[in-house]
Copies of this chain bind each other. A is one copy, B any other.
């Protein structure tokens, strides 16, 4: 069985991809090729797209599946001539929404990822700069401006979450690693105690931590399973004592962890 999924859009194609991938993830044992064709903004490009879809479909053993978020009616009509199974997102939902909102839709492509609001773009870039500047405990003077401070043992996955929170939601996230020295004192570093209400802990399974650390520093004491077990255990106890909420990141995607951090801590998304 050879079959292809196309994500077609007049803009980035991100909405079509997210929707299609969510729906198709509900089917097991599918072997599908995935092709995203964004920025289909002229009838000529739509005609080329139809040719491509039909060629691919003839090579495959079943007709292509298409998720499209096209708006322009002439372009849509052209695409619909392709021999494929269509999931037409705007076609399905715009009319019911127009009735519910008692308002006509704009019928303009690419509205959702435009910088319609300059401030939101600015927020995301500022948040990214904040995450980079305040990564790995590098600086602590800006913690007054942080929305959240992630903490946990070294290499438990704090940096990708900080950057994801910044780029997706404009949230300013710093991160501070808890080291063996911190564990030895038996207390949180003073700078973290000062900002205790902004703290959120990430933890991980010692086996996974050991694997990740071994890629960085093979066969080191730092990467030894025994050491990882010790650190994780001590840091979790420390967080329990200080009533810092925390989350085990093992077996969770960046999206899942970020969503849980936002929800649990009641953070407000800026975009």
Give A154-171 as 1s and 0s: 1 = Cβ < 8 Å from B's Cβ atoms. 000101100110010000
How many chain A residues touch B (Cβ–Cβ < 8 Å)?
Answer: 67
Q: A12-B255, A160-B167, A251-B115 are in contact. Are A26 and B106 (CB under 8 A)?
A: yes
A71-B21 Cα distance, complex, nearest whole Å: 15
Count the copies.
2
Q: In the complex, which residues 1-54 of chain A have their Cβ closer than 8 Å to any Cβ of chain B?
A: 11-15, 18-19, 21-30, 36, 38-39
Q: Is the CB of A259 within 8 A of B106?
A: no
Of A65, A93, A128, A252, most B-chain CB atoms within 10 Å: A93
Q: For residue A155, give the distance in angstroms from its CB to the closest CB of chain B.
A: 10
**What B residues does A27 contact at CB under 8 A?**
97, 101, 103, 105-106
Give A110-130 as 1s and 0s: 1 = Cβ < 8 Å from B's Cβ atoms. 111111000001001100100
Show 26 A/B contacts (Cβ-Cβ < 8 Å), sorted by A.
A12-B256, A12-B258, A14-B255, A18-B112, A22-B69, A22-B89, A26-B90, A26-B107, A26-B111, A28-B106, A30-B101, A38-B259, A65-B100, A85-B100, A87-B96, A113-B256, A114-B253, A115-B252, A121-B253, A124-B160, A124-B254, A125-B157, A128-B163, A132-B159, A164-B167, A167-B254
